[in-house]
Each structure stands twice: as C-alpha cells, then as structure tokens.
Amino acid sequence: MNAVTFNDSFLPFVEAAKISKSVLQSPLIQWNAERLEVPFSEKSLLRDDSGLLRLPFPAFRVFGAIEFGVKESYKLSVFPHPEKSDAITCLMCPQKQRNDNIIGCTLIHNKNGKTVLGSTECRAFSFLDGKMTIYQEDEPDEFTRNWVKVCVLTMKNDLDLLVADFLNPHLYLCKRCPPMPQGKSILWQKAREHYVLLHKTHAANKREAVGKKTIQDGSLVDRISHSRRAHFRLLRSPKFRHKQGQRIWVQSAWIGPKEWTDRSGQIYRIVERHNESSSPTAGGGSGEAQPK
C-alpha cells in the first residue's frame, strides 16, 4: 500500500473545489468490508445521543475493498461539510486510478437524513477529467438518475459498514507503520503510517504475548483473556444525579501489549479510544468552498 501517493487522484478535485488541503493529511485507514450491509436492528447503535453517525475521525481517508454486489478496490475520503454541521462529504475513486475520475456526494448524517437522489438531504456530483458536474433533483436522463442513486447509496452503505466495524467489540483500532530504513527521516515513516482494525483473536492478543516486543503472526487462539468488550452500560446508582437511568457507551479496552513489531518489521500501536469523534465539526476538513 502506497500511502504517499494515496492523495494523487483527489488532489485535482481539492484544488478545483478550493477545499482545504488538510483533508489530504487526515488519518488514513486500511479497511476491507466483509459483508454487504449492517442489519437493520443494529442501525441505531451506529449513532450517538444527538443522532449523528459515530465517525471514527472528523475527517479521514480509506484505502481498501468493499463488497457491494462485486468486490472492488477503492479509495474513499470523508470530511465535514464547511457550511453544514450535520453533513459530511464523501469522495470515491477506483484504487487503480489513472485519470481524474471521482464520484462524490454530500450526506446529512443525522438520524433523519435521507440518501435518495432528489432530497434536500443529499447532493451528488462527479469530477471527470477536470470537469465538475452537479446532479439535480430532476435529471432528465433516467440512466443518470439511477447511476447516481447507486453511487450515493454505495457510499452511504460503506460508511455504515465502516462505523459498525469501528464499534465492533471484537475489533481494535491499531496504528501501523513500516520500519524506518537507514537514511530515511521520521517524516518518511509518518507519511506511511495508517490505521488498521485487528480482531480479538490476533496473535498480539494471546496470553503468552504480554510484554513481548516482537510478536509472530502465527496461528490464532481460541481462548482470549486480554480484551474488554465495548458495551452499553445502564447507570442505575443514585450517585449519577443527572444521568441516572441513562445508557452510556463504554469503550473497548486492549489489556495485552499495546506496541509490538511483527516478523516483517511492521510496527503496531494500539489506539485505545477511537470512537470519540462522532461529530464532523470537530475540525480537520473544513474548506473555502464545497459542492452543494
């Protein structure tokens, strides 16, 4: 994975739309979706008390693969809308991109948000070969309307899947970066740093791995003793004067080693609290102008 060249396909759009280039330095996530959708019964868990989607970061980039009918590799960039506090903008392009070919949409991500073309909650646009096209509610061509609708629903579905994985009590957010070769600077290493999600059965979570600096990624184990599930807790005690009777979200915790190196030299660092940034207005992706 080449984290340094990740932004090449998005740069022309960022410059054309006058969006802050800070979006191109937002956290990079390597992620693969292994299912088609999130069960409807779990949809409510993806949002915080204010109804906003529990985004892993206010602005972030994703490099991976999604299964939406057909498994395809892609690049995805998500950042807050500069004018709407409850809206986010998604940009998507194929992983093997040679020309400027980007599909984007602006989504209202509160609990009342809609994702169908033609509603005021969603705007779709494309950036092909340096030309921006904004899609209106009443596109005359039926094929265009259906194509854009599928693109928007795909991006919305991807976000739901990503959020569900970040809330999954069996998955842990981990920062990974390559070893620094001789003659390279710390900036070289930081440019290639990215986030991954590890399952609780990963070799680093084995009882015998506690305290070790090097962990061999061998066979997985059935018995896990160093993880605490993320869960909702009902506050029953009278000492919670203002929140008694409310349910709160308790973060998962990694109890084993929090930093190690695998056999290939990749450096891993567990990130404990990764579900804090549920609001897109917490910084990171604002800009001067934005497709509406």
Measured over all CA atoms, what is the biggest interatomic distance in the chain, rounded to whole angstroms? 64
Distances (CA, A) of 40 to 36, 112, 159: 12, 15, 14
Quick count: other Cβ atoms within 10 Å of Cβ 33?
A: 20
CA distance 209 to 77: 35
Q: What is the pLDDT along the chain (292 residues), one digit of tens a residue?
A: 577 888 888 888 888 888 888 999 899 999 987 777 888 888 888 888 778 888 989 999 998 876 555 667 788 899 988 777 778 889 888 766 555 578 888 887 776 654 444 455 677 888 888 888 888 767 888 888 888 778 788 888 888 889 999 888 778 888 999 888 888 888 888 888 999 988 776 766 665 665 566 665 544 333 333 556 667 888 888 888 888 888 888 766 676 677 778 777 888 888 865 444 433 333 333 444 455 5
Strands (E) across the chain are located at 28-32, 60-68, 70-80, 87-94, 101-108, 122-128, 131-134, 171-177, 194-199, 227-228, 231-234, 247-250, 253-254, 259-261, 267-270
Angle 262-264-270 from CA coordinates, rounded to 5°: 35
What single-letter DSSP state applies at residue 200? T
CA distance 227 to 188: 32
* Long-range CB pairs of 263-267, under 8 A, 24+ apart, other chains included: 263/214, 263/216, 263/217, 265/178, 265/179, 266/176, 266/177, 266/178, 266/179, 267/176, 267/177, 267/178, 267/179
The answer to whether 89 touches 287, Cβ cutoff 8 Å, is: no
Strand partners, 77: 61, 91
